[in-house]
Structure 1
Amino acid sequence: MEQLFNYADFLLEYRGVRKEAASRALHFFLRDHSLDVVCIAEPMVDSVSFPACFFNRLGFMVEIIHNSRRDKVPNFWVVGKNSFARLVMVHSSEQMTSVSMQWNGQQVLVSVIHASCFRAERRNLWVELGTVAALSLPWVALGDLNATLYSHEKRGPGRFNVGATAEFQAMVDACDQISSPSQGSKFTWTNNKCRGHVVARLDRSFFNAQWLEVFGDCGQQVLHRSISDHAPILFSSTAIPKPRNAPFRFHRFWMEEESFEDLVRDVWSREVRGGPIGRLPYKLRAVRSALKGWARQSFPNLDVALKDATEEVDEVQRTIDQVGMSDDLYSREAEAKTKLLKAMEMHEKLWAEKARCNWAKLGDRNSKFFQLSVKVQRIKNSIRSLKKQVIPNEVNREDSSILEAIPAREEIKKVVWGLDPDSSLGPNGFPGAFFKQCWEIVGDDFCGAVIAFFRGGKLPNGVNNSFVTLFPKVEGAVSLDKFRPIYKQGAFQKGKIISSNIGLASELANLLHTFVRGGGMGIKIDVQKAYDTLSRDFLFAVLKRFGFSGVVGLDS
């Protein structure tokens, strides 16, 4: 069964809706959920012989949209809420039914799927989905696909069908579909057997980029199974409200504006009382406040600017087609094209920063890079021998004096120049590129703050704040123990990103399936609470044992 709930869909399979247990379960479900569109898969009865008052009493339309099958009853029913827009069938077959509806003046498509158990027949379904995708409308497809995308989506006896999965994945790629983030149970189907028990993820939902533009957010929830061997899939789409306390974000293309450095210089030159370490964050906050208002005036909504520039070009060119070219129209077209190119450039830079596609720079070299990384890591991680040893005194007095020496301005500048200009932003919102661009303005205060820390060994509260970002360790994480905290301070070195570890781990996991002499083995170590069990005093004692001085920080 399926639902469009606020911006949502739901799939639930009842084998024989005429059965008393199935009818009762369906009634309770519709009563307990605020649904807009309902689809029942495999009702096993003709819609004409089913009492229309069943849906009408629950606030749904009397008219039931269904597909047609040769010498068989329909296996799809689609029913809309009375208050909802009228549904129009645009495609129907034995494995899929697609309906069109109006949502806030925008036509959207919903495809309900019940794929065949036979791989050869599913190929026809993949072709049908490609036909619907070609309509280029906001589109969501969901239901029982009777195929898995990955090997870990099936557990129990039976071989994993690589060929069927490859065809499924090819269809998803060809249709530019995006798999919905899922919460709840990992598996959606079971064979309900004690011996030879099999579970798999056969029911799922996909949406395209146009759907995301209309609704803003998408996700599905796997509900508990009741009388069916399939679990209900609740697909929801809702606009994500913008947080009121969204942090400041600096955009690199701001630095290309002529008035940028003049603004920073004017704000930075204002007199500020306090020590060197306190002055730096105060001035950064002042610059941040000034840049917010300046950016709103200098860079309006880039999406609107791109749309307006495109319409202006279209309007000028339509006029040229109607009345012919003239000197005035020639100038207007050239000016409109220049404006459009500028808007496209700014729009592209903005989304490039948001996407942070660092790997795109490597292009096809990704595979070679990962292979080389794996080989290097294998060499580094090879354990050839182990010996019992105590903590050595590695740091002598000469090394300690070098570590504690006050850094020179050139040394501090060299470190700043080594920061990745596109690294994750810290709480102050300024990337490494800002400090490099405005070094002549901010350099003295920056170096003064660093030198003051080395001399005093203390940082005021708030200077070293960081963001804590929670990354889910499993799909559909809802509890805190299923998230991994990552502290973002925007101080990563150039060329090094957190995702490199994730990519490397993925490649290592894939290599475990490669046939090698002696076999392969992977060990997962859970260190989720390592930060809770470390003693600060113990760390300081170990550092002292290595030979570090206790002058700065270690005795505090």
Structure 2
Amino acid sequence: MNMFSDLIANLAVIDLPISNQNFTWSNMQRAPTLAKLDRFLITTEWDQDFPHCTVSALPRITSDHTPLILNTGGTQSTRRRRFRFERVWLSREDFSTSVPIWWNEVTSERSAILTLTAKLRHCRTRMKEWCRTKFHSISNAIRSFQEEIRSIDLLEEIDTLSPEVRDKRVNLKAQLQLILKEEEILWKSRAKQHWLKEGDGNTKFFHAVANGRKRSNEIHYIVDDNGDHFVNEAQKNSYFYHTFKRLFGSDEVGPASFGDWADLYRVDFLSDPDSLTGPFTIDEIKKATFQLGSEKAPGPDGFPLIFFQYFWETVKDVIFNIFTDLQENNLYTAPTDFSFVCLIPKKEGACHANDFRPICLMNGIQKIISKVLANRIATVLPTIISSSQSAFIKDRLLADSFVTASELLNWCAKSGKECVSIKVDFEKAYDNVRWSFLQSILRWLGFSEKWWKWIEQCICNAKLAILVNGEPTRWLKTRKGLRQGDPLSPYLFLLVVDCLARVTEAARVNNLIEGIGPTAETQTASILGCRVGKVPFRYLGLPLHINPLRKEDWASIINRIETRIEGKIIQTLLAVVEKCDELSWWSDIWIDETPLSTRFPGLFAKIINREVTVGDGVSLPEASLLTPPLRITTYSGQIDSSGEFGGHALYVLLGRPFWTRGMFGGYGFSLTQIAAIWIIFGEGSPDASRALERVGALIKDWTDAMGI
């Protein structure tokens, strides 16, 4: 099967996923063997000509193979095109100079939020007019320039060109390069591949990725709770509208109270609540605005954050006035608090509502307000959130929870103690948070009433429309829940979920609960309505175990990464740098704006061969990129094994060390762009047996960051 995967990669063809089935062959036995033997392979040229093509399975009647049908998507339903600000417009000087003029053509309204909506509405109208008259179809423009250049080239074969015609060809080629650059920027924004910069002729790659994303996110059919299948777009639209109306729009139960917990709930109360509600500054607002992703998908108004960032000097006064109204409790966010809900499949073949992750696409000003408040609350959460909570807290890592659980299981195993662990997972965790419960928590912890009023403005006025294959449903008013995609939501959810951890601990200290004996596991599982599992089991996406894991236990993780790296990233990595064999990996600027030796001086000091080139670093081994167990040979011998770290070196391509503490003892890293990772542990030392689980934690964070 690896040879077949290599063949697909070498031919640079695309294996179209089957929308409604995973396997195409069965041996029809009582314990069947299933396999995917039948498939459609298409070229990138086909993908560009038929970007909406899909594959679906038909019923298997006589053969043991499943018939497949290819739909080229030629009868796509016509959709009303919504306005969307394009980053490529910023490359036109006349556009950049016109926006401030359009912005100032609208006078102030009776409130800052209404002024903003009026100015954005006017700019949207003027941008549409500009786009119709000044920014024509890029593909048509490219074709026109190419035809003109070709006609001059043919003329040159017949006769000598005049100086005027030669100059015309030079100008045409220069204009064509600008148009090609604009096309690349446009498709990069569609592809959402932020790790790869435009400017190296990667348009074809961005185009293919964008088509692949659209195809994988397309909802082909839906199965409701009664088992009924919906294929019609109107039926799917209605299904999701009513599903989310029940989820977000249901009336709340009575308010939660902490009175019964007062003697048990041990907590460090907020010492200075007024520090969160101090006056806003323009620098604070600007910092929060520029911390947000500039090219994230926009909300219903069509303006991504790059608009506010690029034209900050133009829009800052209106935005500051909005925060002034918020400070004085005069802000009503309802005119702008509309969000689209984008449905992201959690798995292949998603066909039920629970198979999709609802991500809210908020309007820009709502994101800015939430980010400013999130930055403020993030400064106090480390003092009031229990140490058992490791996500979204400064200087804490989600991997800490996995390592803690692993150490606990290993302690039980080594001490000869039998134990039972209960794994609890929240279903629709964000969506089921009751606002009255959140309000009670904030008051109990000492947050001021003014702070709650601000939070209320952010979460209690929201109106949502579900995007089903790009088409929004009717608007629905939310009455509970936190929005995924809101910068403030993770911190508010931490306050809610921390209650469970603290109340459980308080109940244990006061002998209100006790451990479960190993012999009672079946009875306990029956009472809780869960199944009895065994180690290794998955926790936070990784295998949690007692004994050293076998190669098979890591196979799924290795294959996931290997497939993604070999299939999509490595093959296009050489396109990032034009002269990779001439550039120094450490000394030259080829990632961001700073040499790696300057950004990672401590790591650079450990390197023996400092003359390695970028070409050396990105060239693939002859066989497989990953050699189990997770050993990569590309950089063998590069790191001084006699140093403090010990002998064995792991090199993981397309990531950077990310720990704020740990093996590298203080190196701070990020996993958002292309660079290199070294993980070093002593081969044969006591820590060697535990190295793979730490590597696993690294890989989990890396795959999350890469969107794998």
Q: Contact 2:113–2:322 (CA<8 Å) still a contact in 1?
A: yes
Q: Contact 1:190–1:230 (CA<8 Å) still a contact in 2?
A: yes
Partners of 1:471 and 1:391 lie apart in 2 by: 38
Aligned pair partner of 2:341 in 462, 468, 487: 468
Specify the SS of the correspondent of 2:449.
coil
- Please name the residue that 1:436 is paired with: 309
Specify the SS of the correspondent of 1:168.
helix
Q: Contact 2:53–2:72 (CA<8 Å) still a contact in 1?
A: yes
User: CA-atom RMSD, angstroms?
Assistant: 3.3
Report how far residue 255 of structure 1 moved: 2.4
Q: Contact 2:340–2:361 (CA<8 Å) still a contact in 1?
A: yes
Does residue 1:549 correspond to 2:448, yes or no? yes
Partners of 2:17 and 2:82 lie apart in 1 by: 25
Partners of 1:185 and 1:353 lie apart in 2 by: 31
- Please name the residue that 2:73 is paired with: 238
Specify the SS of the correspondent of 1:540.
helix
- Please name the residue that 1:535 is paired with: 434
Aligned pair partner of 1:318 in 137, 142, 154: 154
Report how far residue 444 of structure 1 moved: 0.9
Deviations 1:138-164 (A, max 9, x none): xxxxxxxxxxxxxxxxxxxxxxxxxxx
What is the TM-score normalised by the length of structure 2?
0.45
Residues 433, 214 of structure 1: alpha-carbon distance in 2 compared, 3 angstrom cutoff: closer
Aligned pair partner of 1:344 in 173, 180, 190: 180
- Please name the residue that 1:204 is paired with: 39
Partners of 2:72 and 2:120 lie apart in 1 by: 39
Aligned ranges 1:264-279 → 2 under 5 Å = 264-269=99-104, 270-279=106-115
Which letter maps to 1:470? L
What is the TM-score normalised by the length of structure 1?
0.56
- Please name the residue that 2:62 is paired with: 227
Q: Contact 1:313–1:337 (CA<8 Å) still a contact in 2?
A: yes
- Please name the residue that 2:480 is paired with: none
Partners of 2:178 and 2:321 lie apart in 1 by: 39
Partners of 1:479 and 1:234 lie apart in 2 by: 22
Report how far residue 258 of structure 1 moved: 2.7
Q: Contact 1:277–1:450 (CA<8 Å) still a contact in 2?
A: no
- Please name the residue that 1:65 is paired with: none
Report how far residue 191 of structure 1 moved: 0.9
Does residue 1:449 correspond to 2:322, yes or no? yes
Partners of 2:423 and 2:166 lie apart in 1 by: 66
Does residue 1:477 correspond to 2:350, yes or no? yes
Specify the SS of the correspondent of 1:412.
helix
Q: Which runs of 5+ in 1 are unaligned?
A: 1-164, 364-387, 494-503
- Please name the residue that 2:196 is paired with: 360
Residues 297, 526 of structure 1: alpha-carbon distance in 2 compared, 3 angstrom cutoff: farther
Residues 236, 242 of structure 1: alpha-carbon distance in 2 compared, 3 angstrom cutoff: closer
Partners of 1:188 and 1:523 lie apart in 2 by: 37
- In proportion to residue count, which structure has more strand? 1
Specify the SS of the correspondent of 2:93.
coil
Report how far residue 266 of structure 1 moved: 2.7
Task: Answer with 1 or 2: which has the greater Rg.
Answer: 1
Partners of 2:298 and 2:28 lie apart in 1 by: 50
Q: Count residues in correspondence.
A: 345
- Please name the residue that 1:287 is paired with: 123
Residues 472, 525 of structure 1: alpha-carbon distance in 2 compared, 3 angstrom cutoff: farther
Does residue 1:186 correspond to 2:19, yes or no? no
Partners of 1:181 and 1:394 lie apart in 2 by: 52
Residues 245, 401 of structure 1: alpha-carbon distance in 2 compared, 3 angstrom cutoff: farther
Deviations 1:64-85 (A, max 9, x none): xxxxxxxxxxxxxxxxxxxxxx
Q: Which runs of 5+ in 2 are unaligned?
A: 201-262, 372-397, 414-420, 457-708
Partners of 2:444 and 2:426 lie apart in 1 by: 25
- Please name the residue that 2:137 is paired with: 301
Specify the SS of the correspondent of 2:441.
helix
Which letter maps to 1:185? Q
Q: Contact 2:439–2:452 (CA<8 Å) still a contact in 1?
A: no
Which letter maps to 2:51? G
Which letter maps to 1:197? P
Residues 222, 273 of structure 1: alpha-carbon distance in 2 compared, 3 angstrom cutoff: same
Q: Contact 1:423–1:431 (CA<8 Å) still a contact in 2?
A: yes
Does residue 1:169 correspond to 2:5, yes or no? yes
Q: Contact 2:113–2:331 (CA<8 Å) still a contact in 1?
A: no
Residues 541, 204 of structure 1: alpha-carbon distance in 2 compared, 3 angstrom cutoff: same
Specify the SS of the correspondent of 2:296.
coil
Report how far residue 471 of structure 1 moved: 1.1
- Please name the residue that 1:335 is paired with: 171
Partners of 2:85 and 2:281 lie apart in 1 by: 28
Residues 361, 211 of structure 1: alpha-carbon distance in 2 compared, 3 angstrom cutoff: closer
Q: Contact 1:306–1:347 (CA<8 Å) still a contact in 2?
A: no
Specify the SS of the correspondent of 1:220.
strand
Report how far residue 175 of structure 1 moved: 1.8
Report how far residue 391 of structure 1 moved: 4.8
Deviations 1:267-318 (A, max 9, x none): 3222142211221122111111111111222210001101111111111111
Aligned ranges 1:253-268 → 2 under 5 Å = 253-268=88-103
Partners of 2:287 and 2:77 lie apart in 1 by: 38
Partners of 1:528 and 1:245 lie apart in 2 by: 35
Which letter maps to 2:441? V
Aligned ranges 1:21-420 → 2 under 5 Å = 165-194=1-30, 196-239=31-74, 241=76, 244-269=79-104, 270-361=106-197, 390-396=265-271, 398=272, 400-420=273-293
Q: Contact 1:484–1:528 (CA<8 Å) still a contact in 2?
A: no
Partners of 1:247 and 1:391 lie apart in 2 by: 51
Q: Contact 2:16–2:41 (CA<8 Å) still a contact in 1?
A: yes
Residues 211, 192 of structure 1: alpha-carbon distance in 2 compared, 3 angstrom cutoff: same
Q: Contact 2:25–2:66 (CA<8 Å) still a contact in 1?
A: yes
Deviations 1:109-168 (A, max 9, x none): xxxxxxxxxxxxxxxxxxxxxxxxxxxxxxxxxxxxxxxxxxxxxxxxxxxxxxxx2111
Q: Contact 2:56–2:69 (CA<8 Å) still a contact in 1?
A: yes
Q: Percent identity?
A: 28
Residues 523, 358 of structure 1: alpha-carbon distance in 2 compared, 3 angstrom cutoff: farther
Report how far residue 426 of structure 1 moved: 2.2
Which letter maps to 1:198? T
Which letter maps to 2:270? V
Deviations 1:360-403 (A, max 9, x none): 2599xxxxxxxxxxxxxxxxxxxxxxxx973514312x3x1121
Q: Contact 1:392–1:545 (CA<8 Å) still a contact in 2?
A: no
Q: Contact 1:180–1:220 (CA<8 Å) still a contact in 2?
A: yes
